[in-house]
Structure 1
Amino acid sequence: MSIQMEYNAYRRDHPIDSLERQLICPICLEMFTKPVVILPCQHNLCRKCANDIFQVSHPKILFVFQSRGTTLGSAGRFRCPSCRHEVVLDRHGVYGLQRNLLVENIIDIYKQDSARPLLKTEHPSCEEHEEEKINIYCMTCGVPTCSLCKVFGEHKECEVAPLSDIYMKQKSELTEGIGALVAANDRVQAFLDNLQGTCRSIEDNSKAQKQALCEKFDRMYAILEERRKIMLQRITYEQEEKTQHLKSLTRSYSEHIESSSKLVDTALQSMEEPQMAVFVQVTWQVTGISEVTQSCEVEPLETGYDNMEHYAVDFNAEERVLYQLDFIKGENKWFGVVGNGGLGEEGSQV
């Protein structure tokens, strides 16, 4: 069994370890070091770790305070490493964050009441030499070991370094890595916010352009409808004028036929009169028939009186113009040249 596995097996024997896991700082991965600050999102950090995150996220501010010989924070912001909630600092920096006295008291009670020896967790023994503490790090094999393993054991030919140096180096690298990752996440989050803002702007601008386009087409529809009404009225006016004239002629000639028909009936009855003297007395009918016959001359209508082709239209040119309706010509890097009868160099014609 390795040292880490032995240590883990030891820890599982203590139920209070579940409490300890709740007291681990997500930055240094150790139990919270007082003072402990609580963030607006209700997560906790060592104030030193919070200051480290803030300084890594704001290297210019860090440089200014280092040049002044102080590590006090200043107004700014950083993101919680647990939930990515943005923490806004006032002019006091991380020192303006509220201390979590409850967590600090729990840490004190935990350290006082814990029955297991903390030295065992802090200074595990070597698996090969149980009396020796792990105090060096084998650079060749990449494992922690003890001095006897270096002098007499399997690591005597290996390159080693003090465990404290490796611990500080790796902890520093991890802190820098966490800070760099937090800063990178902030940049990505800012980019995501910008993308979302751009998306909303595109939707708003598209909505406005669509509304403007519909208003332009509605205006053209109104103009076309007005022209249609005017042109239909012109056709209707001539239609009614001609039909009224024809109806007038129809009434006139109908009345003429009716009166002449009556005159013919009267003349036919006179023709049956056997008495010559009586017949001669109605000779006025001969004159009446002659007059009616002369007045029954029909005036023919003009040639093509019923023709309405002079109202024919040819909108071919206008239709071609309508098919060429497009946006104002301009360069668009997404679709090439727009406003030239289509969506672009490869777009379909509207």
Structure 2
Amino acid sequence: MNFTVGFKPLLGDAHNMDNLEKQLICPICLEMFSKPVVILPCQHNLCRKCANDVFQASNPLWQSRGSTTVSSGGRFRCPSCRHEVVLDRHGVYGLQRNLLVENIIDIYKQESSRPLHAKAEQHLMCEEHEDEKINIYCLSCEVPTCSLCKVFGAHKDCEVAPLPTIYKRQKSELSDGIAMLVAGNDRVQAVITQMEEVCQTIEDNSRRQKQLLNQRFETLCAVLEERKGELLQALAREQEEKLQRLDVPEGSGLH
């Protein structure tokens, strides 16, 4: 099947290009997927590098890939739907690559690089200076602004930095924060799972102890009932013997 034929008509439309780009964003790094792309059993995709970073962070004791020691697999939770995946001894490297998505990325990049599909750059304009583009970031006030605001305006005494630099830095910090949250949540889920297993073990042990107690009680009751019957029979025999001794023999001469 020629994959290119089916997708090129859709890629020609700017709106479709924007929608497609959103579908090609990794939920961990918030960038377009970088090869290789792996697909989880829940059908969500991740950059393999991003998936491995999160997996290593949430499974610190897992043997790293390339080690000569055979290790058991770990658990990985999808950052999109939280579905838990049990990995084999290869870890994230044992997940299947999504060649279809990798193909789409290649086609998207090819189409995006063509002048026909190039989009006019959109810039936000400064509210104070309508002809000036917002191109710097005020570190003191933590707001984006323009160069004239720095030279003549409200931010002339503030510390500023290029907007793209701050954007990249904050995006990186956000990605790191998301990765930490995902890894932390995986550890919490692991503790919850462990506690659930402990509770289940306690319930199973309690159930077995109750069954054992009931069995012992029933056995003891049976022994007591048997002993009761024996004692009643002995008492009846003793009573019969005493009554027989009290009977007057015939021909004894007593009138």
Common fold: TM-score over 0.5: yes
Residue 159, structure 1, aligned to residue 159, structure 2: yes
Asked if 2 retains the 8 angstrom alpha-carbon contact of 1:57 and 1:179, the reply is: no
Residue in 2 that maps onto 1:41: 42
Cα distance in 1 for residues equivalent to 2:88 and 2:135 = 41
Cα distance in 2 for residues equivalent to 1:142 and 1:26 = 26
Residue in 2 that maps onto 1:212: 212
Deviation, 1:17, is 4.5
Residue in 2 that maps onto 1:24: 25
Q: Letter of the aligned partner of 2:95 in structure 1?
A: L
Question: TM-score, normalising length from structure 2?
Answer: 0.71
Residue in 2 that maps onto 1:117: 119
Equivalent residue runs for 1:101-140 within 5 Å = 101-110=99-108, 112=111, 117=119, 119-120=121-122, 124-128=123-127, 129=129, 132-140=132-140
Q: Letter of the aligned partner of 1:104 in structure 2?
A: E
Cα distance in 2 for residues equivalent to 1:161 and 1:173 = 17
Distance 1:152 1:14, change over 3 A: farther
Equivalent residue runs for 1:143-292 within 5 Å = 143-242=143-242
Deviation, 1:87, is 5.1
Asked if 1 retains the 8 angstrom alpha-carbon contact of 2:138 and 2:144, the reply is: yes
Residue 83, structure 1, aligned to residue 84, structure 2: no
Residue in 2 that maps onto 1:256: none
Asked if 1 retains the 8 angstrom alpha-carbon contact of 2:126 and 2:146, the reply is: no
Deviation, 1:130, is 5.8
Asked if 1 retains the 8 angstrom alpha-carbon contact of 2:30 and 2:175, the reply is: no
Deviation, 1:177, is 1.7
Deviation, 1:43, is 0.9
Deviation, 1:159, is 1.8
The percent of aligned pairs where both chains have the same amino acid is: 61
Deviation, 1:76, is 5.6
Q: Secondary structure at the match of 2:25?
A: coil
Q: Secondary structure at the match of 2:180?
A: helix
Residue in 1 that maps onto 2:97: 99
Q: Secondary structure at the match of 1:157?
A: coil
Note the residue ranges of structure 2 that are not aligned, 5 or more in a row.
Answer: 1-13, 66-72
Asked if 1 retains the 8 angstrom alpha-carbon contact of 2:58 and 2:187, the reply is: no
Distance 1:194 1:56, change over 3 A: closer
Asked if 2 retains the 8 angstrom alpha-carbon contact of 1:39 and 1:87, the reply is: no
Cα distance in 1 for residues equivalent to 2:191 and 2:18 = 40
For these two proteins, the number of residue pairs brought into alignment is 229
Asked if 2 retains the 8 angstrom alpha-carbon contact of 1:40 and 1:87, the reply is: no
Note the residue ranges of structure 1 that are not aligned, 5 or more in a row.
Answer: 1-12, 66-74, 254-293, 299-350
Cα distance in 1 for residues equivalent to 2:120 and 2:25 = 15
Deviation, 1:146, is 2.7
Cα distance in 2 for residues equivalent to 1:148 and 1:60 = 54
Looking at CA atoms only, which structure, 1 or 2, has the larger radius of gyration? Answer: 1
Asked if 1 retains the 8 angstrom alpha-carbon contact of 2:58 and 2:184, the reply is: no
Asked if 2 retains the 8 angstrom alpha-carbon contact of 1:137 and 1:145, the reply is: yes
